[in-house]
Structure 1
């Protein structure tokens, strides 16, 4: 089965975890910088996002369930919510079955250590052949996406 772990957001990513082969395919959320009023903001490109999911032959998706964060501005909250909504809408439009998974749940299932770089460190530990994809601090979206997909496989194993 090919499970997509989706970390929504303009700096998010998608990891497609092939559970039969144990391989990962990772792509960053396709975005474009656009002018909104006087600011430049990143916006997800829905058609490009949909095309990537199709190209990677996703069977199922685990989408991180996100919500507004304290002290986050209105514009950032809207932008983040927009990415989340586009992600869920694209999955539905493509007919890809999906489940929402809370950050606390996938982090517990993947046994992510505390700290700013816990997710990147755990992704390198679980997927050493892909370590170069998690090296930079900016790769946190990739590591989160990989761990979201991995965590979903743990849900099935624990239920069995």
Structure 2
């Protein structure tokens, strides 16, 4: 089974996990928009990246797991709108591709990996512990978003029961 774990947002990532093995992780494709050159997710590129990686799979053997995000206290209205827009684009693309989508709240997967109330970088450390062969791809502090996508996919892989 191929699990596509997605940490949504401009600085998020997409992980492709096959039978518990990381096949690929990519930073969220983005593009600049408007006069202020603000970054936003690039829906067309996301579609292309996912399509390319799933072409050898039957859709019944693919599961998309997106982190279920919501507004957070202290975040600005504009940034939360942009974050929600990214979440909606990802949902729309996966729905249009007719891929089964599952949602997992951050608290749920973080609790599973004992990351509640830990620093952002703790997910990177945890992902390296679980997948040491992938550590060279998680060597920078900014790779914590890749680690989140990996752990989201891994959480689903370890807890999902095919009923």
* TM-score, with length taken from structure 1: 0.90
Q: Distance in 1 between matches of 2:101 and 2:77?
A: 28
Deviation larger for 103-112 or 64-73: 103-112
Q: Distance in 2 between matches of 1:51 and 1:117?
A: 29
Number of equivalences: 156
Matched, 1:119 2:118: no
Deviation larger for 112-121 or 22-31: 112-121
Give the match for residue 146 of structure 1: 150
User: What is the Cα deviation at residue 148 of structure 1?
Assistant: 0.1
CA-to-aligned-CA distance 1:95-152 (integer Å, 9 cap, x gap) = 1101010001011223336223110000100111111221212111100000000000
Give the match for residue 132 of structure 1: 136
Q: Distance in 2 between matches of 1:4 and 1:55?
A: 13
Task: Provide the aligned C-alpha RMSD in A.
Answer: 1.9
Give the match for residue 31 of structure 1: 30
What does residue range 1-160 of structure 1 map to in structure 2 within 5 Å?
1-19=1-19, 22-35=21-34, 39-57=36-54, 59-112=62-115, 114-156=118-160
* TM-score, with length taken from structure 2: 0.88
Contact 2:15 2:22 (C-alpha < 8 Å) held by counterparts: no
Contact 1:110 1:150 (C-alpha < 8 Å) held by counterparts: no
User: What is the Cα deviation at residue 24 of structure 1?
Assistant: 2.9
CA-to-aligned-CA distance 1:53-98 (integer Å, 9 cap, x gap) = 1111171111000011111111101110111000111110001101
Q: SS at the partner of 2:34? A: strand
Contact 2:15 2:146 (C-alpha < 8 Å) held by counterparts: yes
Listed as ranges, the gaps of 5+ residues in structure 2 are none
